[in-house]
């Protein structure tokens, strides 16, 4: 049986390109650290830093945390968080500073307040109100006499 030589040669070329160190280095994408300042020297501070920047939303991208965003504003926010942590500020102080400066939108999980409870509870309240209205209308119509 004669196999088509073009297909075999192409398969060998693809296989060799896949294992070639030149091909791997040409297509390898190095994950550059987002922060140009590197890691914090204290491992506990580094963990707090990573946790905080994952909970803050990028105001430009709006669907990414500042940890994942490469825009200039996110870099500034990461720098501010780093400086506040080094200065000894608590997580609560950092989050309240960011919220005061940029609004509640900057937090992926805003704290439960009366405002947020109203926002999350309003759909359930409307559903209960609609159910009560349907029940009352159905009950009133069931008491009406039937037409002959």
Contact in structure between 85 and 40 (CB atoms under 8 Å): yes
Residue ranges per structural domain of the chain: 36-106, 112-148
pLDDT of residue 41: 78
CA distances from 39 to 66, 74, 93, 96 (A): 16, 17, 21, 24
CATH topology of domain 36-106: Helicase, Ruva Protein; domain 3 (1.10.8)
pLDDT classification of 148: cutoffs 50, 70, 90: low
Beta bridge partners of 56: 107
pLDDT tens string 61-73: 878 889 888 899 8
pLDDT classification of 96: cutoffs 50, 70, 90: very high
Of 57-61, 95-99, 121-125, 128-132, the one with minimum mean pLDDT is: 57-61
pLDDT classification of 5: cutoffs 50, 70, 90: low
pLDDT of residue 135: 96
Angle between helices 72-86 and 43-55 (to 10 degrees): 140
Rounded distance between C-alpha atoms, residue 66 and residue 73, angstroms: 9
Q: Give the mean model confidence (pLDDT) for residues 106-124.
A: 86
| Strands (E) located in the chain | none
pLDDT of residue 63: 84
- Tallying the residues shown for the chain, one arrives at 148
pLDDT tens string 7-62: 555 565 555 555 554 444 444 333 334 556 677 778 888 899 999 999 999 988 87
Q: Give the mean model confidence (pLDDT) for residues 108-124.
A: 86
41 dihedral zone (left: phi>0; alpha: psi -120 to 50; beta): alpha
Instruction: Tell whether the model's pLDDT for residue 145 goes beyond 60.
Output: yes
């Amino acid at each position: 049986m004669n196999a088509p030589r073009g297909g075999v040669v192409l398969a060998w070329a693809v296989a060799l390109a896949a294992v070639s160190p030149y091909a791997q280095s040409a297509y390898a994408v190095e994950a550059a650290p987002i922060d140009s300042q590197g890691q914090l020297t204290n491992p506990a501070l580094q963990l707090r830093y990573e946790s905080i920047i994952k909970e803050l939303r990028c105001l430009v991208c709006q669907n990414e945390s500042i940890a994942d965003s490469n825009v200039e504003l996110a870099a500034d926010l990461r720098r501010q968080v780093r400086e506040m942590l080094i200065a000894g500020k608590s997580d609560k102080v950092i989050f309240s500073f960011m919220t005061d400066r940029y609004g509640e939108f900057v937090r992926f999980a805003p704290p439960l307040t009366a405002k947020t409870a109203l926002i999350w509870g309003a759909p359930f309240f409307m559903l209960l109100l609609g159910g009560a209205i349907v029940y009352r209308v159905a009950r009133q119509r069931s008491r009406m006499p039937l037409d002959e």
